[in-house]
Every structure is written in structure tokens, then in C-alpha cells.
Amino acid sequence: MASHRKWSPTGTRIAGIRTPALATAALTSVALLSQTANAAPSADSKPSIEEVEKKVDDLYHQAEAATEKYNATREKTAQQRKRVDSLLDDVAQRTEKLNTAREELGSFAAAQYRTGASAPDTATLLLADNPQDYFDQTQLMDRLTSRQKVAVDDYITEQAATTKKRAEASQSLQTLTTTQSALKTSKADVQHKLAEARDLLSKLTAEEKARLAAIEKKKQEAADRKAAELAQQQAAAEKKAQEAAAQQQSTSATTGTTGSSATDSSYTAKADKALAFARAQIGKPYVWGATGPGSYDCSGLTQAAWKAAGVDLPRTTWDQVNAGTTVPLSDIKPGDLVFFYDDISHVGLYIGNGMMIHAPKPGAYVREESIFYGGESIIHSVVRPA
């Protein structure tokens, strides 16, 4: 912050010459303006490439989180729509039954009118808001024939059931309207984040884009080194495991006991199918909200891959993270799901050697990449889904 001096009305000296007070004030103002101009960035100043890179990454991360929210809301909307359709079908069927019961009562009323019999006022019954109250007030039930009683009972039952179902359908329609509005909001949020990221990137010069690519390459090289380290650690652990398994086999042959090799073999077989499916999707574009077959978002890809192995995963990362057994990173196996960020907004399918197949972000394609692509700190958890 620029320093400020108290102005002296008696003037000051510059190079041994006393200056008038007004001249001194003018000189001071010029100095302050100069210092302010040097200290404050101009309105036209551009962020550094590092700042752009971080901002774009943050926006893509936010867009993925918004995408998972969109996925969850869309799934809820679909379920609510099915419920509304089911309720409306039920209301239609019950209304038909109610009309049939009303017609039967009407036939009794017509017959009574033709014969002139002193009979229950079924015509008034049909117009009553609450038939049961009507019966209670007139003691009509005591004067009905057995056939009429059956018809009246049917009418009362169907009217009550239809009224209840109509109320349920009305409430479900209101809920559907609410979820559809939330779906629209989630979609707009994703689009806004992506538009902001594209706008930042569009303003870069060719030189700046080259520098940004160099930053990304450096990050990728670091991630690949970290993946290689994990692969070495796992190879050493696998060697020990094989030695232990051989020892256990020898012990089992002596004692007649069996280990968990059958379980491991079953998981490996399923994982192989999931990985084969995921590999076949490499090169297809990331599209938020997509579940295939032409494009995927991150959780859409993992869901489809494991479905090919006969395992049904939930739609969103937030639910997939709970659809299996959590294992430490050191015990990760091919087929495991790797979740990222504190908000669990991204997921990939581990393929071994520190690598995964995932749908990275908008503008990118399904690809193999190190699970350390954003650093080890963003890895949230590892889950074995079957």
C-alpha cells in the first residue's frame, strides 16, 4: 500500500529551494498516483497460465460434481414418473370399477321407480358426497336386499379407494414437477461451468496454449512415475502373496482345509469382463449424463463396465462408492473402482500397474491414465464392487 504523508502548509524543500505549499501538494499527488499505478494490476491484466490451468481444472471438477447431481436428479425424476404413471393407471382402473358399481345402483333405482316400490333412495345415494354418512343417517342398510347390499358395498369401497388414489396421484404429480425443476437447475449448472471453462481456454494465445500443454505434460509424467512406483510395490507384494499361497497350499494338502482362492478367482473372472468392456470404449467421447453406448460420463462408464460382468452398480459416484467393499490403495486390484476428490465426484476403473480406464472430463475421450493424474491427495477411496 502506498505511504501517505501529511501535507505541510508552510511548504517543503527540494534541492535546497523552498517551494510553495500548493506546488508541494501537486508533487505529492503525482508521486502517490505513480506508486498506485505501479502497485495495482490493471483491469486488462490476464491471469498467469498456472492460474488459468488451476481455474479450468476447478471448473471441470465443479462440472463433474454438478453432473453427478444431475444424474441423481434424473434418476429420481424417472422413478417418480414411473410412480405417477402407475398411480394414474390405477386411478383409471378404479374409476372404471366405480362407474360399474354406480351403474348397478342406478339399475336398482330405475327398477324401484318403475314398480313404484317404497325402496331406498339409491338415486340420492349416487349424488351423496359421502355414501357412508348417507347410510348412517338414513339407516338405509336395514332396508336393502342382499344383492343391493353387495352393490352398495362395492360402490363405497371403490369410491373411497378411487378418492385416495386420486389424492396420491395429485401429490406425486407435484413431486414430479419439483424434481423436473431441480433437474433443469442441475443441467443449467453443468452447462454454466463448462461454458466458463471454454471461455477461459478460448482467450489463450497459441504460445499460452503451448505452455499449458507443457504443464499438463509435466503433471502426466509425474503421475506416470507415481503409477510405476505403485506397480513395483504391488509386484513385490504379489510375490510375497504367491509365496504365502504356496505355503498355504502345502498346509491345506496336509490338513484338508481350503483357502479363499475360489473367491479371488470369481472376482478376477468378473473383473476381466468389466475391463474388457471398458477397453472397448476407449476413444469414445466424455458426455456428461451419458451412459453409452456412444459416449459416457465417469460413473456411466463404470456402471456399464460392471453391468457387462453381471454386476448392477448404482448410477452416481455417490452411490457407487457404497456398492462394495472398501480396500486400501496398497491392496488395489484390476476391476476395483477408484474414487476421487472429497466430494466423490469422479471415478475410474483400475486396470493394474497404477493405471485406470476412465471418462476424464468434457472435451476428452475415454482413455487409460494414471490414477495419480491429479496427485495422490485427490484419491478418495478404492472400492471392490463384487
What three-state secondary structure class fits 266? helix
* Catalytic site includes residue 346: yes
Residue with cell 354406480: 102
Residue with cell 393407471: 89
367-370: strand order across its sheet: 325-327, 379-384, 337-340, 346-352, 355-358, 367-370
d(CA 303, CA 308): 9
Q: Which of 4, 61, 192, 346 is catalytic?
A: 346
Q: Which of 4, 61, 298, 380 is catalytic?
A: 298
Q: Is 347 exposed, middle or buried (0-12, 13-18, 19+ CB in 10 A)?
A: buried
d(CA 137, CA 140): 8
d(CA 83, CA 165): 12
Residue with cell 434424473: 74
Q: Rounded to 5 degrees, what angle do the CA atoms 58, 62, 63 make?
A: 115
Residue type, 382: V
DSSP H or E run through 18: strand 17-18
CA-wise closest residue to 154 among 108, 116, 97: 97
Q: Which of 4, 61, 192, 358 is catalytic?
A: 358
Q: Are strands 17-18 and 13-14 parallel, antiparallel or unpaired?
A: antiparallel
d(CA 375, CA 297): 21
Write out the three cell numbers for 219: 503433471
- Find all residues with CB under 8 Å of 359, minimum gap 6, and list them: 286, 296, 297, 298, 300, 301, 365, 366
Number of H helices, E strands in the chain: 9, 8
**Cis omega (within 30 of 0) for bond into 47:** no
* Catalytic site includes residue 61: no
Supply the residues annotated as catalytic. 298, 346, 358
